[in-house]
Amino acid sequence: MTADTITAADSRINARWLIPVEPFGIVLEHQAVILRGSRIADVLSQSEADLKYRTRETVNLDRHVVMPGLINLHGHTAMSLFRGLADDLPLMTWLNDHIWPAEGKFVSEPFVLDGTRLAMAEMLRTGTTTFSDMYFFPEVTAQAAHDAGMRAQVCFPLMDMPTVWGSGPDEYLRKGAALIEQWQGDEYIMPAIGPHAPYTVSDQPLKDAVALAERTGAAIQLHLHETAFEIDEAMKATGSRPVTRMAELGVLGRNTQCVHMTQIDDSDLEQLVRSGAHIVHCPESNLKLASGLCPVQKLMDHGINVTIGTDGAASNNDLDLFGELKTAAMVAKVVAGDASALSAHRALELATLNGARALGREQELGSLVAGKLADLIAVDLSDPFLQPVYDPASHLVYSNHGRAVSHSWIHGVPQLQDGRLTRIDVPDLMLRVSEWRQQILS
Ligand SMILES: [Zn+2]
């Protein structure tokens, strides 16, 4: 190769191991990822890269595995400020007696801003580059994520009851439509519609949400079939299972993300398959609230796209998506009665490419392929708890703690360098969090 075949690029990341996610199930060694602007320009061996590229900057990650940034597809980010406030309670008691009263008292724009920043700091430290949020004051969350350079799907809340954010469905929908108009087409922020759950939203607002989704192309995300109690109450009140009611109202479709789905009978499964809706599995929240277990392998065997989320820090109580993957893999095996269910590579796919599919952005996110957006992370495997290395994919799912994540880039911009956050002022954030703690305690 001659000098005129050498191409200039911005950065080169040398990886000891690389898991591109596409093609599926492979681990490459001694690879280079070439970044140009916000995109991945190339993925190739280091020896080929020496001949082909001249870059302004090289990052040597010779003890690390490099992979796509993780996508946490369900959470309530600002609830990080309620982490550990109320534990060991079933869902309805937890919501009615603890979470909803605390929210009524404390949730405000400054609360959401600080809670979102706290959640983003934790997610960035543990490998998440894209998250989904469903909470009050979504305009604050959207701006905070954009300012921090994190990718986020921001679902505005929709329910029958009045809250700090609005007087009822009409106002939520009006404010939500404005949110969609403001952010639609943005590279970082994906505005979406977040009907809380079938038991908190009546038919008319759900129909209005579907109309808004059809008009704008925005996704719908809702909690669905979280507990057996939800199904029993719905059968008593309406005579049909929530999934059936959602299908009849037009809520289920290719642009819909159903969170939880711990209760699934054959008719539910058939309707999910027919609709093309995505499932967001949140195993730790389901375990902690004793809600039930989602049959992940069975859903995947039926061709349903399954992805993963942590849920809010008040019901988890962390936002470490690697930890969630381990739980998901373990739970899937027990539920399927099969140790081969949800293998390590499949689990990694849940948190990357499947998340991108649910967001409708699989052409741009979720794998390390030339032309895609440069959202990637590195995990340092040199710590004793990750040694020896036979199979990096195994370590990422079964042995990893998200804290081994050392680097991340979003849109080609470094967000985490040797474990240090580049765009969030952590000491200042900790001061704000301790002020909230004082206020909530008193
Ligand atoms: Zn949730």
pLDDT in tens, 321-368: 999 999 999 999 999 999 999 999 999 999 999 999 999 999 999 999
Note if the pTM is more than 0.95: yes
Whole-angstrom distance, CA of residue 299 vs CA of residue 272 = 9
Cα-to-centroid distance, 204 and ligand 1 (Å): 22
Per-residue pLDDT for 1 more than 50? no
CA of 33 to the centre of ligand 1 (A): 35
Q: Tell me the CA–centroid distance for residue 224 and ligand 1, in Å.
A: 10
317 preceded by cis ω (within 30°)? yes
For residue 316, report the distance from its CA to the centre of ligand 1, in Å: 10
| End-to-end C-alpha distance for the chain, whole angstroms | 70
> Which tops the pLDDT comparison, 111 or 92?
111
Distance 366 CA to ligand 1 centre (A): 22
pLDDT of residue 303: 97
Q: How far is the CA of 395 from the centre of ligand 1 (A)?
A: 28
Cα 75 to ligand 1 centre (Å): 6
Cα–Cα dist 154/180, whole Å: 9
pLDDT in tens, 29-79: 999 999 999 999 999 999 999 999 999 999 999 999 999 999 999 999 999
Give the CA angle between residues 85, 89, 95 to the nearest 5°.
70
Would you state the pLDDT for residue 227? 94
pLDDT at 3 over 80: no
pLDDT at 94: 86
Q: Give the Å distance between the CA of 260 and the centre of ligand 1.
A: 8
Distance 253 CA to ligand 1 centre (A): 20
| Burial annotation 244-271 (CB, 10 A radius, 16+ → b, else e) | bbbbebbbbbebbbbbbbbbbeeebbeb
* Ligand 1 centre distance from Cα of residue 223 (Å): 6
pLDDT of residue 4: 58
What's the CA-to-centroid distance between 400 and ligand 1, angstroms?
A: 24
Per-residue pLDDT tens digits for 148-167: 999 999 999 999 999 999 99
Cα R_g (the chain), whole angstroms: 21
Q: How many whole angstroms from 116 Cα to the centroid of ligand 1?
A: 15
314 — pLDDT class (breaks 50, 70, 90): confident
C-alpha separations of 316 from 86, 150, 290, 414 in Å: 11, 22, 12, 28
| For the chain, percent of residues with pLDDT exceeding 70 | 99
Q: From its phi and psi, is residue 25 left (phi > 0), alpha (psi between -120 and 50) or beta?
A: left
Give dist(CA 376, CA 413) in Å, integer: 10
Residue 92 pLDDT = 86
CA of 407 to the centre of ligand 1 (A): 28
